[in-house]
Amino acid sequence: MSTEQLSYELLAEVGEGSFGRVYKAREIGGKQRLLAVKKLNFRLDSAGAGIPPFMIREVALLKKMGYFSHPNIVKLLDASAVPLDSTLDLTLVLEYIDQDLSTYLSKVPAPGLSRGSVKDVMQQLLRGLDFLHTNLVLHRDLKPENILVSSRGEIKIADFGLARIHTFNIALTPGVTRCRAGPQWGGCLAE
């Protein structure tokens, strides 16, 4: 990610989420590439709460992943935050990918993807996951909507809002409700 802010023009809204909207945009000057621009708005309260932790994690992880530039991880190109009165506007500029896996699969005519295409999609997805896991990153929200497919058939893993970096401390953190855990993990039956 460069220190110089990207200039772009918004072309169309392509999605909407809980905190904002995603736009298709074109870079002005430079490479004239297509971009995905996430514009998010967070209300600042009197306690000073601003950007939710999941967004901070997503930006931090995408910046970290950007240093390695893996072909199967979506690239964060720019990020900026602007405080406005009682709100904070956060803008993320990412590489633009045409569609998610659900949309891609819905466009495939019967009888579906060929065996070779399925193999290619899975190999790319597994290469991306291997890269994340090698770097101790757990995505924790992998689903068709978070797997993007470019017009050239490139698979990119996106949306790192729930992701975590695995550490020794996290490994010791319970991952289930106590009463649902087995007795060996101190579940309700062990009491």
Retrieve residue 175's tokens.
């991952």
CA–CA gap between residue 19 and residue 35 (Å, rounded): 19
CB atoms within 10 A of CB 14: 15
N residues, the chain: 191
Distance CA 21, CA 11 (A): 13
Residue 159 falls in which region: left (phi positive, over 0), alpha (psi -120 to 50) or beta? left
Q: Read off the DSSP letter of residue 123.
A: H
Q: Is 45 tagged catalytic?
A: no
Q: Is 39 annotated as a binding residue?
A: yes
Please list, in sequence order, all residues whose beta carbon lies within 8 angstroms of the beta carbon of residue 45, skipping any fewer than 6 positions away. Answer: none
Answer for the pair 9, 23: CB distance below 8 angstroms, yes or no: no
Among residues 89, 98, 120, 141, which one is catalytic? 141
Residues recognised as catalytic? 141
Return binding residues.
39
Return binding residues for ATP.
39
